Amino acid sequence: MDAFEAIKATFFQECDELLAELESKLMLLEQGQTDLETINAVFRAVHSVKGGAGAFGLEALVRFAHVFETLMDELRAGRKPCDTVTIKTLLRASDVLADHIQAAQGLAPPVDEERSAGLVHELELLTHGGEAPPVVEEDEDDFGFVPMAFDVPLDEPLPSLGEPEAVAAEAQTGWRILFKPHGRMYGSANEAGLLLRELGRLGPITVSVDDSALPTLDVLVAEDGYLTWTIDLTAAIEEKVVREVFDFVEADCDLTISPLGGGSEPVPVFEEEPPAVLPASDELDIAALLAKAAGDAPAAEQPTPEAVAPAPAPAPAPAPAPEAVAPAPVPAPAPAPAPVAAAPAPAAPIPPAQVAAPVAPAPVTIRVDLDRVDRLINVVGELVIQQAMLSQRVLESGLARSSGIALGLEDLELLTREIQDSVMAIRAQPVKSVFQRMPRLVREVADMVSKQVRLVTAGEDTEVDKTVVERLAEPITHMLRNAIDHGLETPDERIAAGKTAEGTVRLAALHRSGRIVIEISDDGRGINRERVKKIAIDKGLVAPDAALTDEQIDNLIFLPGFSTAAVVSDISGRGVGMDVVKRSIQALGGRISISSVPGKGSTFTLSLPLTLAVLDGMVVSAADQILIAPLPAIVESLTPQEGDLHYVGGVDPVIRFRDRFLPLIDVAMTMGFRDTPVVPSEGVAVVVETEGGQQAALLFDAIQGQRQVVIKSLETNYQQVEGIAAATILGDGRVALILDVDVLVTDMRRRSSRPDFKLAS
Amino acid sequence: MKKTVLTVDDSRTMRDMLLMALEDAGYTVIQAVDGIDGLETLAAQGADVVITDINMPRMDGFGFIEGMRADPNHRTTPCLVLTTESDAEKKARARAAGATGWIVKPFDPVKLVDAVRRVAA
């Protein structure tokens, strides 16, 4: 990849960030925060996209961004109101802009011409508000003098500063340049010497200087321009090329360029040259220039627009005497002389406070290739395993826990953990990147199903491992679609139900007991349990006579092949149901639960581990198998006493735990490690709690200890196994399975012990 | 001696492009991401020529140039402004603030280096 391609890649990366910024600022506008800084931020984002796109010749993108930018420019200048209609259009424009960027990247087909053109039209309509496009005011006649340092370039090797030389015979192929810098020119760090050097590059030059305007020292203003240069350039080049040298300073000097030859004497004083004698140049209006020069002196004393207006008949005015040109004391532009029609809105001056504002230190960041971080994480994972193995070996060797080696190992373990936490923190990212994609989705889905939806987000800054963030996008997308398509009512239905026409969907993220929780709630109609049950029965998902609690009915929508949409819609009926969402959440070590109130709405709650790399677990054994029970799910462990055990219906064991009876699940049996149940009083019961708050006791043979384990995906290395979340490698090198407590407690138990469910599923 | 150019631009893409063009032409390049950062960098490291964008967060290009001109050490340091198109109003404002010249984006590396050479003492 060459440098150019690398920069292009950077550009697209930057575009993603700019789009995210654009989206979030537009959301702020939508929420009514229409202050200048927010509008400016939107402008800058679009402006930067356009700037970069221009550099890479991405024409379609530039064209669209330009129209967008023009409207933003009007908004930030306050010439157009930032009202609801405008913001809605801006939001849609940002979507099209994103599409253009995708297309430019070759990630998507070219943007639908009609859609793009339609929005361009809308944007232009808003920009011009149906009136004629405003005439762009040219504000070139800014002649405020700025006192600035001014060096006579003594160190420049100027050819011949003496008497003007006679013009040579080949003078037809040359130019005479009269150049009188204003003090202002020096104020912008332009140097006459450098300009002469530049002319010298074009061809041999002869320079003479007229210093007759220099006042005596006592009245000399050191930072003003008093000198007039006459340069004869011998080179067969176009006038345009000569003029380009003065490109930056044209407005800050008097400049005439005329062909050399005709034997005309060098004219030492520019102002005395009658304009009529100078061959007219089509690029420079000498008359206007003179008029401006004439207008300068009065303007300094009495700055009225009339005084600065171009005089229609420019009388060869005497040069303003240096003494008369009182340098303006402040470097502010004099009242802008507006020679044409209405004055443009004066550009807001930079508030001095902004310049002098105390400088907040920007957070220092570096960009690191993700591969490097991943490599580090992998190695640290191995380090943790190695450390665990070492600890175990030391323990096995019979060394006392108080021995130096054992104590040193303990410190090592703490350090290893700290390294691991720090490394994980590198990968932690706010969920913002996913949340920011959602407003667009909500807009599009709402448009498609003709519903009015407001998306409220909270907790965007909640951090979670990068892998988790990336894999959150799909389930959230799907659930938001569902919430809008199935959850929310149509505006008419809502009004009939006494609600606002606009439905609200809330997307929130928060940390709860070492996990990240994502909540998606709507204020729609809630789950129609009768209908859900009927569908489940019709589809043979449950037995017709099954007695189901509300919660169980709600959970039916997670069963494979379940879809409540009477008409399979474009939005959520894509053959991908909630069962897929549930599976993908489970693959992340997460859980999903639902709560619903008829007429009030539904809430889906996702709970995910913060990282997919490590887990604190309890090491247990069941029928010669070493298993890991995730520590966050464990409430306490106890040895079952014969008197606390009861059997429901003579089959299902329950155990008394703090005046309640909890189901007792024989893990080895449930997982199929053995066929005969163990005698409960000979094992250990571990009380666990599911995400939904359901408690149960898991029966194991023994507890071996507690440790942090590195999670290795079972799915990637083998296949998904029900009841098992992942695997790990123990200190002695053996593989141990990590239990999925929720599945064990809810699904598997139900299936193994309840014949009616077994038949139905 | 190698001349140092300070580039002030909030766009990473643009900073990279300037860096590539200027380093190829033999300049040392230092970078800043906005006007405030630019003034700090300039005060700390100095520069022979400055190139700045106009639209930036925290402090824009106009504010940056005015701030730079208010510093006795950099009153005469040449400063080129990046403008997206030949926007007369912006050029005039930049010049009023003390800009030495301008470079029209998207720029051609040859023209960019030419402009820098023209204003560099």
Q: Residue A70 maps to which CATH number?
A: 1.20.120.160
On whether residue A151 sits in a domain, the answer given is no
Nearest to A330 by CA among A346, A345, A352: A352
Residue A317 maps to a domain: no
The verdict on A383 and A520 lying in the same domain is no
For the domain with range B4-119, which CATH number is right: 1.10.3720.10, 3.20.20.70, 3.40.50.2300, 3.30.1330.10? Answer: 3.40.50.2300
Separation CA A39–CA B111 (nearest Å): 33
The confidence band for A384, taking pLDDT boundaries of 50, 70 and 90, is: confident
* Residue in A105, A141, A188, A359 to test binding to B, most B beta-carbons within 10 Å: A188
Model confidence at A344: pLDDT above 50: no
Residue range A438-457: mean pLDDT, rounded: 87
What's the maximum distance between 2 C-alpha atoms anywhere in chain B? 37
| Residue A530 sits in the same domain as residue A573 | yes
Please state the pTM of the whole predicted model.
Answer: 0.50
- The shortest CB-CB distance from B66 to any of A11, A189, A355 is to A355
In a domain, A619, yes or no: yes
pLDDT value of position A261: 67
Q: Which residue has the tokens 């239905």?
A: A493
**Does residue A596 contact residue A577 with C-beta atoms inside 8 Å?**
no
pLDDT band at A520; cut points 50, 70, 90: very high
How many angstroms separate the Cα of A337 from the Cα of each of A139, A303, A492, B27, B98? 8, 9, 59, 40, 18
Q: Is a pLDDT exceeding 70 seen at residue B40?
A: yes
Residues A351-375 pLDDT 10s? 444 444 444 555 677 878 878 887 8
- Residue to test with chain B: of A46, A354, A365, most B Cβ within 10 A: A354
Q: Residue B106, preceding bond cis, omega within 30 degrees?
A: yes
pLDDT-derived band at B87, boundaries 50, 70, 90: low
Number of domains in chain A: 5
Mean pLDDT of A234-248: 80
Residues A455 and A583 in one domain: yes
CA neighbours closer than 13 Å in the CB half-sphere of residue A150:
19
Distance CA A531, CA A553 (A): 10
**Token digits for B38?**
């630019």
Is a pLDDT exceeding 80 seen at residue A732?
no
| Interface probe, candidates B95, B104, B111, chain A, greatest A C-beta count within 10 A | B95
Structural contact between residues A596 and A526, judged by C-beta atoms closer than 8 angstroms: yes
Name, in order, each residue with C-beta under 8 angstroms of A714's C-beta and a sequence gap of 6 or more.
Answer: A720, A721, A724, A725, A726, A727, A737
pLDDT of residue A717: 74
Q: Which alpha helices (H) appear in A454-604, and where do they start and end?
A: 466-482, 491-496, 529-538, 550-555, 578-587
DSSP A215-260: --GGG--TTS---EEEEEEE----HHHHHHHTTTTGGGEEEEEEES
Distance CA A759, CA A756 (A): 5
Taking an 8 Å cut-off on Cβ atoms, the answer to whether B13 and A198 are in contact is no
- Burial string for B69-90 (b: 16+ CB within 10 Å, else e) reads beeeebbbbbbbbbbbeeeeeb
Q: Chain A: give the shortest CA distance to residue B45, in Å.
A: 17
What CATH number has the domain bearing residue A635?
Answer: 2.40.50.180
**3-state class (DSSP) for residue A635:** strand
Domain end residue (candidates: A387, A407, A429)? A429
Rounded to a whole number of angstroms, the distance from the CA of B92 to the nearest CA of chain A is 6
Closest chain A residue to the Cα of B83, Cα to Cα: A51
Select from A55, A251, A355 the Cβ nearest to the Cβ of B95. A251
pLDDT value at residue A141:
39
Helix, strand and coil content of chain B, in percent to the nearest 5, comes to 50, 20, 30
DSSP secondary structure letter of residue A169: G
With beta carbons less than 8 A apart as the criterion, state whether A381 and A710 touch: yes
A541 and A677 in a single domain? The answer is: no
Exposure string of A701-727, with b = 16+ CB inside 10 Å and e = fewer, is beebeebbbbbbebeeeeeeeebbbbb
Q: Which of residues 312-331 of A touch B (CB under 8 A)?
A: 331
A363, two tokens: 């957070």
Give A81-123 pLDDT, tens digit per residue. 778 878 888 888 888 888 888 888 777 777 777 778 888 888 8
Q: Are residues A93 and A186 in the same domain?
A: no
Confidence at residue A146, expressed as pLDDT on a 0 to 100 scale: 42
Q: Are residues A472 and A376 in the same domain?
A: no
Residue A711 lies in a domain: yes
CA–CA distance, A54 with A104 (Å, rounded to integer): 12
Residues A421 and A436 in one domain: no
Question: How many Å apart are CA A556 and CA A577, to the nearest integer?
Answer: 11
Residue A676 scores a pLDDT above 90? no
Tokens at residue A175, please? Answer: 């130019």
> Which pLDDT belongs to residue B96?
80
Whether chain A has a CB inside 8 Å of the CB on B73: the answer is no
Element (DSSP H or E) covering residue A29: helix A3-30
Q: Within an 8 Å CB–CB cutoff, is residue B67 touching chain A?
A: yes
What letter would DSSP give residue A104?
Answer: H
Chain A contact for B99 (CB, 8 A cutoff): yes
Round to whole Å and give the CA distance between A153 and A512.
Answer: 71
What is the spatial distance between Cα A521 and Cα A518, in angstroms, rounded to a whole number?
Answer: 10
pLDDT of amino acid A147: 47
B31 touches chain A (CB under 8 A): no
Per-residue pLDDT band for A478 (boundaries 50, 70, 90) equals confident
Q: Could you give the CA distance from residue A456 to residue A507 in angstroms, rounded to a whole number?
A: 6
Verify that A10 and A124 share a domain, yes or no: yes
> Could you tell me how far CA B86 lies from the centroid of its own chain?
16
Cβ-Cβ contacts under 8 Å between A and B: the total is 135
Residue A760: pLDDT over 50? no
Percent of chain A beyond pLDDT 70?
Answer: 75
User: Under a CB-based contact definition with an 8 Å cutoff, are residues A255 and A195 in contact?
Assistant: no
Indicate if A618 and A603 belong to the same structural domain. no
What 8-state DSSP symbol labels residue A744? I
Which of A520, A519, A530, A522 minimizes the C-alpha distance to A488? A522
Alpha carbon distance A602, A505 (integer Å)? 10
Most A CBs within 10 A among B11, B15, B117, hence the mutation to make, goes to B11
User: Of A11, A50, A248, which is closest to B100 when you measure between CB atoms?
Assistant: A248
Average pLDDT score, chain A: 74
Q: Is A188 on the interface with B (CB under 8 A)?
A: yes
- The CA distance from B4 to the nearest CA of chain A, in Å, is 16
Which chain A residues touch B106 with a CB distance below 8 Å? 51, 54-57
Q: How far is B7 from chain A (nearest CA, A)?
A: 16
Distance from CA of A220 to the nearest CA of B (A): 20
pLDDT band (50, 70, 90) for residue B86: low
Q: Are residues A110 and A16 in the same domain?
A: yes
CB A428 within 8 A of CB A464: yes
Mutant choice from A48, A69, A143, A198 vs B, greatest count of B C-beta within 10 A: A48
pLDDT grade for A280, boundaries at 50, 70 and 90:
very low
What chain A residue is nearest to B35 in terms of C-alpha separation? A355
Q: What is the CATH number of the domain that holds A557?
A: 3.30.565.10
Question: Per-residue pLDDT for A281 more than 60?
Answer: no
Check whether A506 has a pLDDT greater than 90.
yes
Which tens digits make up the pLDDT trace of A567-580?
A: 444 444 444 567 77
Nearest CA in chain B to A56: B106
State CA A323 to chain mean position distance.
56
Identity of the residue numbered A514: G
User: How far is the alpha carbon of B99 from chain A, nearest alpha carbon, in Å?
Assistant: 5
Q: What is the pLDDT of residue A167?
A: 43
Residues in chain A: 761
A18 in Cβ contact with A48 (< 8 Å): yes
User: Would you call B99 and A359 a contact, using CB atoms and an 8 Å cutoff?
Assistant: no
CA–CA separation, A673 vs A663, rounded Å?
A: 20
Say how far residue A425 (Cα) sits from the centre of its chain.
20
Beta-carbon separation of B84 and A54 below 8 A: yes
Domain boundary among A128, A161, A183: A128
Give residue A691's pLDDT: 66
Indicate whether A485 and A549 sit together in one domain: yes
Tell which A residues from 149 to 178 touch B, by Cβ distance under 8 Å.
149, 151
Residue contact B62–A331, C-beta within 8 A? no
At A431, which amino acid appears?
V
CA distance B46 to B32: 12
Tally of CA atoms within 13 A in the half-sphere of A608 that contains its CB: 31
Residue A546 structural domain: 431-609
Burial of A70 (C-beta count, 10 Å sphere; 0-12/13-18/19+): middle
Q: Which helix (H) or strand (E) holds A516?
A: strand A515-522
pLDDT at A166: 43
Q: What is the pLDDT of residue A393?
A: 82
Residue A188, min C-alpha distance to chain B (Å) = 4
B17 closest CB neighbour out of A7, A247, A333: A7
The pLDDT of residue A184 is above 70 = yes
Mean pLDDT over residues B31-54, rounded?
A: 89
Alpha-carbon gap: A580 to the closest alpha carbon of chain B (Å) = 40
- Strands in B4-8's sheet, in edge-to-edge order, are B28-32, B4-8, B49-53, B79-83, B101-104
- Whether A328 shows a pLDDT value over 50: the answer reads no
CB B61 within 8 A of CB B94: yes
198-237 of A, contacting B, C-beta below 8 A: 198
Highest mean pLDDT among A73-77, A250-254, A623-627: A623-627
Q: Higher model confidence: residue A287 or residue A165?
A: A287
Is the model's pLDDT at A447 over the cut of 70?
A: yes
Which residues does B25 contact at the CB level (< 8 Å), separation at least 6?
A: B109, B113, B116
The residue among A345, A354, A349 whose CA lies nearest residue A74 is: A345
Q: Do A189 and B76 touch (CB under 8 A)?
A: yes
**Whole-angstrom Cα Rg for chain A:** 39
List A residues 716-745 in contact with B (Cβ-Cβ < 8 A).
none
Is residue A186 very low, low, confident or very high in pLDDT (cuts 50, 70, 90)?
confident
Q: CB B20 to CB A3 under 8 A?
A: yes
Higher pLDDT, residue A419 or A690: A419
Which residues of A are less than 8 Å from B37 in CB distance? 362
Do A32 and A12 share a structural domain?
Answer: yes
Residue A319, CB-side half-sphere exposure with 13 Å CA sphere: 19
Q: For residue B10, what is the nearest residue in chain A, using CA coordinates?
A: A48
Strand-pair category, A591-597 with A614-622: unpaired
Confidence category of residue A140, pLDDT binned at 50, 70, 90: very low
Residue A152 reports pLDDT greater than 50: no
Which candidate from B57, B67, B92 shows the least CB-CB separation from A355? B67
Q: Count Cβ atoms below 10 Å from residue B51 Cβ, excluding itself.
A: 29
How far is A373 from A429, CA to CA, in rounded Å?
Answer: 13
- Show the tokens assigned to A116: 């793009």
